[in-house]
Amino acid sequence: MNITTPAWVPHAVFYQIFPDRFASSAALTKPSHLEAWDHAPTTRGFKGGDLLGVVEKLDYLQDLGATAIYFTPIFQSTANHRYHTHDYYRIDPILGGNEAFKVLLDAAHARGMKVVIDGVFNHASRGFYYFNHALENGRESPFLDWFHFNHFPLHAYEEKKPLGYEAWWGIPDLPKFNTNTPAVREYIFRVAEYWIEQGADGWRLDVPAEINDDSFWSTFRARVKAVNPEAYIVGEIWHEAQRWLRGDQFDGVMNYQFTKACLGFFVGRNLDEKLAADVGYAPVRPVDAAGFAGMLLRNLGLYDWSINLAQLNVLDSHDTARFLSIARGDVNALKLATLCQMCYPGAPSIYYGDEVGMLGAKDPDNRRGFPWETARWDNSLRDYVKRAIALRARFRALRDGEFGILHAAGDVVAILRKRGEEKIIAVFNAGEAGTTVRLNVAAVPQIRDGSMLIAEFGTTASYAVAGHQAEIRIGPREGLVFRVG
């Protein structure tokens, strides 16, 4: 099979936004009972973020270097996270409705930015019309084949009574679709087409493995790509994902295997084990440079190269504790991981606020309101992230060049990205002591004696290649990037 993925994705830097918590516009009328923006988030409370607020912050995102936005769900829902969908054709009124989404799409596209939205198609909500119909009418409803009903009466709101239907993880709020029903399949496929027709640039698919049907996802892909062949389809798969990444279903997945490798190496023994436990990438174990290199290479070896370039490389998300909290506040660990993220094949994704040092334990604490008062930012961290993104934009080899390991010993890893004559070497020291690293470049024919490793990030020192080797001095907890010239 000739595997194709969207040409723009390897060159994108995503910024993940949890809409209720990123930005709120005064242009929209708000409900009267909202949580204070700066108060600790709760499971059910709303803070009132909206899509026009995002429009007003597009300058901020562009200044950072983001070129694409991934939104967690934006459809009408009674949950602050909006994974309980009421209406798949209506943007939540609290977010500004369909009109605000149109304004956002137009504003983002005018800046060359892409917008990917979240598709929750395994389950709906108790308020979803077709489920609510059965809830009201019981056995007489004509839509009994839309869900998995076991018995009546249903007990969707009564604790300690059997639900009478299948729900995701047994949560009453989330009745599971019966995707074997042709009408359900057609409904979902039409929703998928509709929002791509409206201008969305792709779908992130929530828990797609729970729809255990390759033909469903193959048809989903065909219907979406028929509208826009460059639409991005990325699945939430936490583990190795060969089944879905053969070119006939998804373009990529949320690359939590990359996350796991970065936590194991850059955080290592400083890891907050409780925060890294009980999520899809667990267990996380400390690894040395050789172990880290092995994990990176194994991950790349699982898939076709075009799939590797379309992976969504995350360090954390709305479903995990924030990287900085897992690292017990070690900003250098986050800096190193971010630089590696910008040098690794696939599209980097920054979870909103990571760049200014936001902390957060597991849900709901990982979904705090963005601190727009700049006095609360770690400006050194934000500057580092901004420069790392700019580095990736400056060198195409970092986006779609070949990948190799030049060195992996002790606490130091060096990688090579190469595209034609452009060759970039990135060196990462996860250790607490500075060291001199001897890079053997004999296996890279284009790097000849007399070549120079010219500093591009993290240092002003440049090094000459002699005897097919270069000796580089690197400080503790430091990342350096060189151009070969």
As annotated, the active-site residues are 206, 236
Orientation of helix 182-197 relative to helix 214-227, angle to 10°: 30
Query: What are the backbone dihedrals phi and psi of residue 482, each rounded to the nearest 5 degrees, phi first?
Result: -130, 145
Q: Where are the beta strands (DSSP E) in 265-310?
A: none
Left if phi > 0, otherwise alpha if psi is -120 to 50, otherwise beta: which for 169? left
Under 8 Å between Cβ of 22 and 51: no
3-state helix, strand, coil in the chain (%, to 5): 35, 20, 45
Q: Give 323's contacts (C-beta < 8 A, 6+ positions apart).
A: 262, 263, 267, 315, 316, 333, 334, 337, 354
Residue owning tokens 């099979």: 1
CB-based contacts of 187-191 (< 8 A; 24+ apart in sequence): 187/88, 188/121, 188/220, 189/219, 189/220, 189/223, 191/88, 191/89, 191/119, 191/121
Q: What is the dihedral of CA 441, 447, 453, 457, to 10 degrees?
A: -80
Beta pairing class for 402-409 and 412-419: antiparallel
Under 8 Å between Cβ of 122 and 206: yes
From the list 83, 75, 39, the residue with the least C-alpha distance to 367 is: 39
CA distance linking residue 363 with residue 40, whole number of Å = 11
Q: What are the residue ranges of helices labelled H in 304-355?
A: 305-308, 323-326, 331-343
Q: Could you count the other beta carbons within 10 Å of the beta carbon of residue 26?
A: 9
